[in-house]
Amino acid sequence: MFPLTLNSQKEDFKLSDLSFAERVIYWSIVLTPLWWLLGIQTLFYPAVVIGLLLMSFNLDKLVRTSVPASAWAWLVMSIVMLWTAMIGLSNFNFEFTKVASTLVTFFKSYFLIFACLVIPLGSQLRVQVITRAVAWMAVGYLIAIALQLIMLFGGIELEPFFPPIAELIPGNKSLIVWFCAFWEPFFGITLPRSVLYTPDPPIPGICGLLCLFICFGESNPRLRQFALAGSLASLLISHSRLALVCLFLAIVVKISFRSFFARQASLWLFSLTALLSSLWGITLTAFLNKPLEIFHSARPASSKDREFVIHKTMEAWQESPWLGWGIPQGTAKWYTYEITLGSFSTYSAVLYLHGIIGFIFFIAALGFTLSDFWQPAVEGNELCKQAFATLLALYVFMQGLPLSWIAVYIWFFFLWLGAILAETQNENYSSVSRWEQLSKKG
């Protein structure tokens, strides 16, 4: 289903052969549990990526290099984010803590995405190196989940702790290290659940999904098997309903690139759905609402929480529709606790924080990123097919959590995308050069 494509993917490599950038990225990904235990993930990853970006910056090379439209789009989006945030901070007279928190959010969200897409263009950063690092990280998922399940069934419980270094990070204190699984109902069945190396259980779901598609490109068969197992384990233990739906969507999109029948299947499926709904005497909307009822029944309390906060977020956005609020400035009270507005759904959060203007630039960034992979995918590039499919899955998943929050936990995915674009660009350049040489000989 997911064959390898680039020749470089089929060739193994040694750690001694890595460039400086590859070595830094490789160990930054592999040692993810260490950065989690130290409580420095939200600062460490942006520091690594932006540091490499500055080291590889070369104005002459930048002028001669064709930077993908998606990278420019994310840069513009990050600037719009900073602009609207400054407007919001002016209402608080630019309090130091709020300014520091906003800057951290800036560097670990949209600007981080831009940097990840651009770094492979200026540094030697091969797809296979990122793939190998992600594979080992996924194996780490498998080991961590196995240990947590053993502790859960053995009745061993470790107290969560807040790393001392994390005290230096301004903003939301969501860096508590909690190395344990817990029981929680899912579709009426009580099953183990875990947050792994993240602050929220759904995040391991999208991490597992992205790792799954990346690790299909791992050249070592044994490592690939364990990595795929770890990715699936992360996806399942997250209890993320949306991540499971996105997995199915990504697989369907990936298959659709390879099969004419699959491309036509969506039309036939829609026609069949309309036919069945008419035969059963129900409206098409009611027919389509049935899966949603099943989706919400898995964890009804969670669905109500999200629906309530999104509704309150949209109400607040209507008070400042064009430029938004810049920074979170309100909460929604749900029973006995307060939830920050914009905590769920990337799309409502972008509207709330950056208004209609920011939303337009955000949708443009999403569209340009997809379009950069579309043509190579149609032409048969397998990695671009997988990138396109996982991007669509991520766009759907973002309805559940803000991208500005989860980007720092899936930074490896954007690096992978950037490396694919760089290798695809190099392949096209090599093809053009060979054609020019043949033309001159002719």
SS (H, E, C) 289-349: HHHHHHHHHHCHHHHHHHHHHHHHHHHHHCCCCCCCCCCCCCEEEECCEEEECCCCCHHHH
Mean pLDDT of the 362-367 span = 96
pLDDT in tens, 94-109: 898 889 889 999 999 9
Q: State the maximum Cα–Cα separation within the chain, in Å, rounded to a whole number.
A: 79
**Cβ–Cβ contacts within 10 Å for residue 126, how many?**
22
pLDDT interval class at 337 (50, 70, 90): confident
User: Which of 36-45, 162-171, 210-219, 423-432 holds the top average pLDDT?
Assistant: 210-219
CA distance 169 to 39: 9
Confidence of residue 1 (pLDDT cuts 50, 70, 90): very low
Report the predicted TM-score, pTM, of the whole model to 2 decimal places. 0.88
Confidence grade of residue 145 (pLDDT, cut at 50, 70, 90): very high
Mean pLDDT comparison of 75-89, 278-292, 294-308, 324-338, highest-scoring range: 75-89
Alpha-carbon distance of 211 to 412, in angstroms, equals 9
Torsion 28-29-30-33 (CA) sign: positive
The answer on pLDDT for 4 being more than 80 is no
d(CA 398, CA 118): 23
- Burial of 131 per CB tally in 10 Å (0-12, 13-18, 19+): buried
**Closest Cα to residue 372, out of 419, 405, 406?**
419
The percentage of residues in the chain with a pLDDT greater than 70, rounded to a whole number, is: 79
